[in-house]
A = this chain, B = another copy of it.
């Protein structure tokens, strides 16, 4: 029984990898850099993207967003208000709501994405610290947001998510004075799970650290464009 289950899972991940590769090819041909942005529900993905895309924006890089949600288009509406091209992908037709995006869902959205108007596509995944980390979707890089309100032990409890991201944004630091939260402990746990991973303290609310995230996105975009 157990062995059968693992086998099915591996098949599903094999198929996902194949489709992710096809997505990657399409993004490359369109010269689009793709970032997969993940977090728990309510960690601040949309608010942080609003901060990054608002104001001076990303310089020459033209951003776009693929917005993954179980249901609704509230986040997409917020981002579209900033005149960023946004495509909504709802996961609720499958199994009472899929808890993550996979490569095939992203593939199904490709025809709706104006790839020729985008240099940097941010895929805002479904809010979840487990399954999104298991499915590559054709991205160049992965970033995650971890909110200080979630506690210090999250890297240890959800290690794959923290291990699989190149950038960890530690959000809502404006709340630190009001929390029993030990930032050193979080950083210690993060280092234990993903040694040396880049991390940035941010507050989408006050704007602190938003420039660092913006710089990282620009760097990822330039890296993807650099000759190998």
Contact = CB atoms under 8 A, between A and B. Distances in A.
A71 B147 contact: no
Contact of A2 (B93, B126, B151, B178): B93
A74 B127 CA distance: 23
A224 interface: no
A71 B41 CA distance: 20
Interface size class of A (residues with CB under 8 A): 35 or more
B96 A154 contact: no
Contact of A130 (B74, B99, B154, B172): B99
A157 B94 contact: no
Interface in A136-178: 147, 149-151, 153-154, 156-160, 172, 174-175, 178
Interface of A: 2, 5-6, 9, 40-42, 69-72, 74, 93-99, 126-131, 133-134, 147, 149-151, 153-154, 156-160, 172, 174-175, 178-180, 205
Contact of A95 (B5, B42, B205): B5
Number of this chain's copies in the assembly equals 2
B205 A180 contact: yes
A96 B5 CA distance: 12
Given A41-B40, A178-B178, A97 B128 contact: no
B172 A149 contact: yes
A162 to B, nearest CB: 11
18 contacts: A2-B94, A5-B94, A5-B95, A9-B94, A41-B129, A41-B150, A41-B154, A71-B156, A97-B130, A99-B99, A99-B130, A126-B130, A127-B157, A128-B130, A131-B131, A149-B175, A175-B178, A175-B179
A164 to B, nearest CB: 10
A54 to B, nearest CB: 16
Nearest to A93: B2
Top 10 nearest A-B pairs (CB, nearest first) are A42-B150, A99-B130, A9-B95, A149-B149, A40-B41, A96-B134, A178-B178, A99-B131, A42-B151, A41-B129
A116 to B, nearest CB: 28
Nearest to A44: B151
A95 B156 CA distance: 18
